[in-house]
Structure 1
Amino acid sequence: MKQETNVVSASLNGVRNSPRKMRLIADLIRNKEIQTAIDLLSHSRKRKVSFIFKKLLLSLLSNWEKKNNQSYDSENKGFLYIKEIKVDQGKTLKRLRPVPQGRGHRIRKRSSNIVVLLDKKKET
C-alpha cells in the first residue's frame, strides 16, 4: 500500500543563538497555520530569533510549492499548518575569558539546529 504524504520539511543548522532562546519562539508558533505564524513572527519582540524563523517558514512554503506544483495564494490559505518544530543544540564554541590571579573562565557560545515540518490540514 502506498501512503500519500503531504509533509514538507525545512531545516537550518548552526544558528548562532542558544536553543533555549529559540524554543521560546518555537513554542509560540507550534501547531499554528502558516500565515498566522508569519504574522506572529512579524510582531514579536524577539527580533533576531523571529527573523530567523520567518525566513525558515518562507523557505518551507517554497519547498511546499515545488513539491505540489501549485502556488500558495489567497485561495489556498488556511489549510497548511506547522506540524512539528524541533530546536536542538548544535555545536558549542568554547572560549576562555581571563579573570584575576591568572585564571581563565570558560565561555560557551551555543548554537542551534532547527527542523520544521509543514502538513496539510485534514478536511472535516
Structure 2
Amino acid sequence: MGARKRIRAEKIKEAKKQVSFAKLNNVPTSPRKMRLVADMIRGMEVNKALDVLRFSPKEASNRMEKLLRSAIANWEQKNEGVRVEDSNLFVKEVMVDSGRVLKRLRPAPQGRAYRIRKRSNHVTLVVDSKETQN
C-alpha cells in the first residue's frame, strides 16, 4: 500500500472512531419493509424517534427501536458524563442493505414449482449530537 493510500485509510479510520453507530445483520424482514420504517425516523431527534417506533404498527419497528436504543447506549459509552437529554442527539443516518436470500420452492399445479425468496437485510444506524455538527 502506498503512503497516500495509507494516510487516507488512517484518516477514515479515525473518523469512524468518532461516530456512534449500531448494526443489525441478517434481520428476517425484507429490505423494502425495513426501509419504510427507516424513512420514518431518518433525521429525527432521538426521543421523538423512539416514540414514533414504539407506537408504529409495523413489525419491523420493534427491531429498529431496539437498534436505536443500542446506538444511544454506544453514544453514551463514548461520551461519558454527558446526558442524552442535554446533547440534542438525533438519527444522523439509517442504511438498509439487502442481506442473504433464502430460496425455497412451493409446489404448483401440473407438476411445476414456484420460487419463494425469503429476503433479509442489514441495518446500520448512526446517531450524532447537534453540537458536534456546528
TM-score range, shorter chain: 0.7 to 0.9
Runs (4+) of structure 1 exceeding 6 A deviation are none
Distance of 1:92 and 1:6 partners within structure 2: 33
Aligned CA RMSD, in angstroms, stands at 2.1
- 1:94 counterpart SS class: strand
Identity %, equivalent residues: 47
How many residue pairs get matched?
Answer: 120
* 1:1-124 pair list within 5 angstroms: 6-46=18-58, 48-70=59-81, 72-74=83-85, 76=86, 79-122=88-131
Report 1 or 2 for greater relative contact order, CA contacts < 8 Å, sequence distance ≥ 6: 1
Cα deviations by residue, 1:87-124 (Å, 9 ceiling, x for unpaired): 01000000000111111111000001000111110376
TM-score (norm 2): 0.81
Q: Highest Rg: 1 or 2?
A: 2
Give the gaps of 5 or more residues in structure 1.
Answer: none
| One-letter amino acid of the counterpart of residue 37, structure 2 | I
TM-score (norm 1): 0.87
What displacement does 1:64 show?
0.7
Give the gaps of 5 or more residues in structure 2.
Answer: 1-10
Distance of 1:105 and 1:91 partners within structure 2: 19
More helix per residue: 2
